[in-house]
Amino acid sequence: MKQRLDEVRDRHRDDALGRGFNPRDVDLLLSDILGRKLSWIVAHGDELIDSAPLDVLLARRYGGEPLQYIRGRTEFYSREFLVDSRALIPRPETEILVETALQFAPRNGLVIDIGTGSGCIAITIERERPDLRVIGVDVSMAALALAATNRASLASHALLAASDILTSIRAHADLIVSNPPYIPAREVESLEVEVREHEPRIALTPGSRGTEAIEQILEQARGARVIVEMGFGQEQAVRDVAAAQRYVVDEIIPDLAGIPRVVILSPHA
């Protein structure tokens, strides 16, 4: 039985709010189902629709599945990327990492993105700076398949390669970038269910300390400048890891919440 769009929308938005979810999720899913823009959804409340498809998608959302996985896409650096459970969902703070990499990457240089996942970092850097050679590496073949789909849809020339950190890469990078897993293993169970139960654990935690992946990156960086993300409260630990690997922290850039997030590292002179 079909119902008025505005009645379906109002009912589900109230329900979402009562469950602690953003009512905008309802509008976005309606937009996807009907193939219409959000402005059309708001302006055409008298349209008759079947609410069953929305009920199915909202059941997934209320079960904790991330909205981005349900929709199959998300925006990153003003581009649309396909996303699913094969890779971490791109976060807004990672755009700071990209901006920093674009600033420091030398003209015509080689940039390697470690743990490329959906490919959002490598593809964005290559699209913003076509002069650069960019390689995205990942140990997960499933993630690389997703990145390849995004590369094709965005007409990117970034290269993709299977590698555990840099073990399969012979080329010497001018700049290494990474949003590595950095959550200590003991903290994973305290994460929100949509992260803990749906995003790939390999992309969340590298081990008990949370800095193991950063340590491996610096071990294999071969003297290249490195720009990485880190977690809350890890500043001193990252400084210690850097010193042990004969790197120095040049700068730490906070995210929009003021949390130290992006670390720029250079080898000791």
Say how many Å lie between the first and final Cα of the chain, rounded: 72
User: In terms of Cα–Cα distance, which of 254, 186, 184 is closest to 213?
Assistant: 184
Can you give the CATH number for the domain in which 93 is found?
3.40.50.150
Calculate the dihedral angle through the C-alpha atoms of 220, 221, 222, 225, rounding to the nearest 10 degrees.
-170
R_g of the chain computed on alpha carbons: 21
Based on the structure, what is the number of domains in the chain? 2
Do 59 and 92 sit in the same domain of this protein? no
Do 142 and 209 sit in the same domain of this protein? yes
Do 208 and 117 sit in the same domain of this protein? yes
Q: Which of 23, 48, 63 represents a domain boundary (last residue)?
A: 63
For residue 268, pLDDT beyond 90: no
Determine the Cα–Cα distance for residues 40 and 56; give it in Å rounded to an integer: 22
Burial of 225 (0-12, 13-18, 19+ CB in 10 A): buried
Range of the domain at 208: 86-267
Do 54 and 166 sit in the same domain of this protein? no
Do 148 and 35 sit in the same domain of this protein? no
Do 46 and 102 sit in the same domain of this protein? no
Q: Mean pLDDT in the chain? A: 97
pLDDT at site 265: 98
What is the sign of the dihedral through the CA atoms of 26, 30, 31 and 32? positive
Do 37 and 135 sit in the same domain of this protein? no
Do 110 and 217 sit in the same domain of this protein? yes
Residue 75 placed within a domain: no
Determine the Cα–Cα distance for residues 77 and 249; give it in Å rounded to an integer: 26
For residue 41, what pLDDT band results from cuts at 50, 70 and 90? very high
Residue 59 placed within a domain: yes
Place of tokens 């200590």: 184
pLDDT at site 1: 83
Residue 72 placed within a domain: no
Per-residue model confidence as pLDDT tens digits over 47-103: 999 999 999 999 999 999 999 999 999 999 999 999 999 999 999 999 999 999 999
Residue 235 placed within a domain: yes
Amino acid at 130: P
**Three-point CA angle 229, 72, 202, nearest 5°:** 40
Structure tokens at 128: 């913003």
Burial of 20 (0-12, 13-18, 19+ CB in 10 A): exposed
For residue 6, pLDDT beyond 90: yes
Per-residue model confidence as pLDDT tens digits over 132-188: 999 999 999 999 999 999 999 999 999 999 999 999 999 999 999 999 999 999 999
Q: Work out the average pLDDT over 181-205.
A: 95
Do 235 and 146 sit in the same domain of this protein? yes
Determine the Cα–Cα distance for residues 267 and 226; give it in Å rounded to an integer: 9
Do 51 and 107 sit in the same domain of this protein? no
Do 199 and 232 sit in the same domain of this protein? yes
Do 59 and 95 sit in the same domain of this protein? no
